[in-house]
């Protein structure tokens, strides 16, 4: 409803301006009472329950938006669009709203207890936002009985109320797409879940995370490190619909029973509202294992060489200690973060993380021991600790032979294990050189 500009109240005839103060006061009181009555009547009409009659059927669309450039946009987005000819409205209901400025956002983000909310927006302006962001927009008109469309609209309007709109966000289990999936499934009498819950996909949460973040190697590596075993379970089609584009794809295979009892596709029609010119994400994750292995082997070999040369070269010794110290600090801090994610947060996707065999807090204990390396054969604590850290990495590799250790972390093993071995071998060279140089 458009609001008036108020321009009519800025002028008036000369006769009106000549009215006495008493007349003006009485007129003002009368108009105030009249406007209050009109306002109450209007409010009552707007909030009164709308009769559910056969006239003016609704049209329900699933809106799907393609990936964007920001990290949280790489997985796409979706919304439910309801066209209501009786009201003359087109409302798009979006479950993916968050605010970086909300109270304690960073703390809640670290804890895995973020508050997201849903809200409806005029569909035309909503589509325009994605058009300006160069993100594709597709819509699918859904086949649903009239009563189911009304129930869906009522539910979304109830869900939009301030007391109902907030929910605790989970990246994989409870996000903007799963909320849309669940609302549509309820309106369709459970048809989506019945069709998809036992249908295997051959994919995992990690599979999709890797392929959709391959454009940013740093984010890709960070997620590969921080995500644990729970993201490597084989997904059903129901679970895969945590991705908006997967929901769009799986809906094409679902049918509903029409008024005549015949099975009809749930997707009546599809249309592209905007096609992005951005590069489409790959269908599969990149094969970067050789890159990680090459980097880890190169750094490990460098540390071994520096340790061997340190017996005759002070700069080599300094270089070995500096590089080993930086690695020990990085590995130790990463290990503390992995332990914290597992034990102190609700980030369930980071639990049971086998990367702790490769990156663990024990590495921090090496920092005060590295400068003493090679000074005395009796100073063995650093060498023993470096061997222990490298040995844990070897254990993490060998445990992959067991079915219970199925986490996909080959890249982290390929990167970290050669470096740990290089640190241990370099420290052995330093201590060995001191032993050779010392008299018996």
- Which tens digit of pLDDT belongs to each residue from 69-124? 988 899 999 999 999 999 999 999 999 998 877 778 778 888 888 899 999 999 99
Last residue within a domain, chosen from 249, 274, 299: 274
Confidence of residue 429 (pLDDT cuts 50, 70, 90): confident
Task: Please indicate, yes or no, whether residues 112 and 74 belong to a single structural domain of this protein.
Answer: yes
C-alpha distance from residue 125 to each of 61, 90, 121 (Å): 16, 10, 8
Q: What are phi and psi of 369, to 5 degrees?
A: -95, -25
Tens of pLDDT, residue by residue over 7-35, are 333 333 333 333 333 433 343 333 343 33
Q: What is the pLDDT of residue 110?
A: 83
Confidence of residue 65 (pLDDT cuts 50, 70, 90): very high
Task: Please indicate, yes or no, whether residues 193 and 301 belong to a single structural domain of this protein.
Answer: no
Task: Please indicate, yes or no, whether residues 347 and 431 belong to a single structural domain of this protein.
Answer: yes
- Specify whether the CB–CB gap between 323 and 317 falls below 8 A: no
CA distance 400 to 410: 9
Confidence of residue 66 (pLDDT cuts 50, 70, 90): very high
State what percent of residues in the chain have pLDDT above 90: 73
Give the list of residues 6+ apart from residue 339 with CB closer than 8 angstroms, or none: 356, 360, 361
Q: Which CATH number characterizes residue 184's domain?
A: 3.90.1720
Q: What is the mean pLDDT of residues 246-270?
A: 92
Q: What is the mean pLDDT of residues 284-313?
A: 95
Among the ranges given (39-48, 130-139, 176-185, 281-290), the one the predictor scored with the smallest mean pLDDT? 39-48
pLDDT at 271 over 70: yes
Q: What is the pLDDT of residue 36?
A: 39
CA distance 373 to 356: 25
Task: Please indicate, yes or no, whether residues 146 and 264 belong to a single structural domain of this protein.
Answer: yes
Q: Which of 300, 306, 331, 308 is nearest to 319 (CA)?
A: 306
Q: What is the pLDDT of residue 248?
A: 98
Task: Please indicate, yes or no, whether residues 245 and 343 belong to a single structural domain of this protein.
Answer: no
Task: Please indicate, yes or no, whether residues 393 and 267 belong to a single structural domain of this protein.
Answer: no
Task: Please indicate, yes or no, whether residues 147 and 243 belong to a single structural domain of this protein.
Answer: yes
Q: What is the pLDDT of residue 13?
A: 34
- DSSP β-ladder status, 115-122 and 77-84: unpaired
- Specify whether the CB–CB gap between 272 and 130 falls below 8 A: no
- Specify whether the CB–CB gap between 54 and 65 falls below 8 A: no
More confident residue, 7 or 173: 173
Give the list of residues 6+ apart from residue 308 with CB closer than 8 angstroms, or none: 426, 429, 433
pLDDT at 46 over 60: no
> What is the full DSSP assignment across 87-152?
TTEEEEEEEEE--TTSTTHHHHHHHT--EEEEEEEEHHHHHHHHHHTT--EEEEEE---HHHHHHH
Q: What is the pLDDT of residue 32?
A: 41
Tens of pLDDT, residue by residue over 107-122, are 888 888 889 999 999 9
Task: Please indicate, yes or no, whether residues 261 and 344 belong to a single structural domain of this protein.
Answer: no
Q: What is the pLDDT of residue 99?
A: 84
Following CA atoms 273, 275, 276, 281 in sequence, which dihedral angle do they give, to the nearest 10 degrees?
A: 110
Tens of pLDDT, residue by residue over 325-382, are 999 999 999 999 999 999 999 999 999 999 999 999 999 999 999 887 765 544 678 8
CA distance 105 to 103: 5
- Specify whether the CB–CB gap between 185 and 193 falls below 8 A: yes
Task: Please indicate, yes or no, whether residues 312 and 433 belong to a single structural domain of this protein.
Answer: yes
Task: Please indicate, yes or no, whether residues 81 and 164 belong to a single structural domain of this protein.
Answer: yes
Task: Please indicate, yes or no, whether residues 350 and 265 belong to a single structural domain of this protein.
Answer: no
Last residue within a domain, chosen from 225, 247, 274: 274
Q: Mean pLDDT score of the chain, rounded to an integer?
A: 86
Number of domains in the chain: 2
- Specify whether the CB–CB gap between 413 and 396 falls below 8 A: yes
CA distance 230 to 213: 18
C-alpha distance from residue 135 to each of 21, 29, 92 (Å): 61, 54, 16
Task: Please indicate, yes or no, whether residues 157 and 257 belong to a single structural domain of this protein.
Answer: yes
Integer-rounded Cα radius of gyration of the chain: 32
Tens of pLDDT, residue by residue over 198-231, are 999 999 999 999 999 999 999 999 999 999 999 9
Is 165 domain-assigned? yes
Domain that holds residue 327: 289-437
∠ CA 429-433-439, rounded to 5°: 150
pLDDT at 183 over 50: yes
Is 9 domain-assigned? no
Q: 158-167 long-range CB contacts below 8 Å, 24 or more apart?
A: 159/93, 159/118, 159/183, 160/93, 160/118, 160/119, 160/120, 165/117, 165/118, 165/119, 166/115, 166/116, 166/117, 167/95, 167/115, 167/116, 167/117, 167/118
Query: In the β-sheet with 137-142, what is the strand arrangement from edge to edge?
Result: 166-168, 115-122, 89-97, 77-84, 59-65, 137-142, 267-274
Is 258 domain-assigned? yes
Burial zone of 215 (CB within 10 Å; 0-12 exposed, 13-18 middle, 19+ buried): middle
Which pTM was predicted?
A: 0.83
Confidence of residue 175 (pLDDT cuts 50, 70, 90): very high
């Amino acid at each position: 409803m458009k609001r008036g500009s108020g321009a009519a109240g800025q002028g008036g005839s000369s006769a009106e301006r000549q009215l006495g103060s008493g007349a003006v006061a009485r007129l003002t009181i009368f108009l105030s009472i009249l406007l209050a009555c009109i306002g109450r009547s209007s409010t009552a009409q707007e909030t009164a329950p709308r009769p559910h009659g056969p006239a003016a059927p609704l049209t329900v669309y699933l809106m799907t938006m393609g990936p964007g450039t920001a990290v949280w946009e790489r997985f796409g987005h979706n919304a439910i669009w309801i066209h209501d000819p009786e009201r003359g409205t087109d409302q798009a209901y979006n479950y993916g709203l968050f605010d970086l400025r909300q109270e304690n956002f960073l703390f809640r983000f670290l804890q895995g207890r973020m508050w997201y909310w849903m809200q409806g927006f005029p569909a035309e302006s909503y589509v325009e936002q994605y058009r300006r962001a160069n993100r594709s927009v597709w819509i699918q008109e859904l086949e649903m009985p009239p009563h189911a469309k009304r129930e869906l609209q009522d539910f979304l309007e109830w869900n939009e109320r301030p007391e109902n709109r907030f929910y605790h966000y989970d990246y994989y289990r409870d996000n903007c797409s799963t909320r849309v999936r669940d609302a549509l499934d309820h309106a369709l009498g459970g048809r989506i879940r019945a069709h998809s819950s036992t249908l295997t996909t051959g994919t995992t949460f990690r599979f999709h995370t890797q392929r959709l973040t391959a454009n940013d190697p740093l984010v890709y590596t960070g997620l590969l490190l921080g995500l644990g075993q729970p993201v490597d379970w084989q997904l059903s089609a129901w679970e895969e619909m945590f991705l908006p584009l997967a929901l769009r794809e799986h809906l094409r295979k679902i049918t509903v029973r029409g008024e005549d009892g015949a099975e009809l596709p749930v997707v009546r029609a599809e249309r592209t509202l905007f096609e992005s010119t951005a590069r489409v994400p790959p269908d599969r994750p990149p094969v970067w294992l050789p890159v990680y292995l090459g980097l880890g082997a190169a750094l490990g070999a460098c540390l071994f060489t520096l340790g061997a040369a340190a017996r005759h070269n002070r700069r080599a010794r300094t270089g070995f200690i500096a590089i080993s110290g930086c690695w020990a600090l990085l590995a130790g801090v990463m290990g503390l973060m992995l332990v914290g994610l597992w034990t102190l947060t609700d980030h369930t996707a980071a639990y049971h993380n086998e990367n702790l065999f490769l990156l663990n807090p024990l590495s921090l204990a090496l920092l005060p021991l590295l400068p003493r390396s090679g000074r005395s054969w009796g100073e063995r604590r650093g060498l023993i600790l470096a061997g222990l850290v490298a040995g844990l990495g070897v254990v993490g590799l060998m445990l992959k032979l067991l079915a219970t250790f199925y986490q996909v972390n080959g890249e982290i093993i390929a990167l970290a294990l050669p470096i740990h071995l290089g640190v241990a071998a370099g420290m052995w060279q330093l201590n060995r050189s001191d032993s050779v140089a010392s008299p018996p």
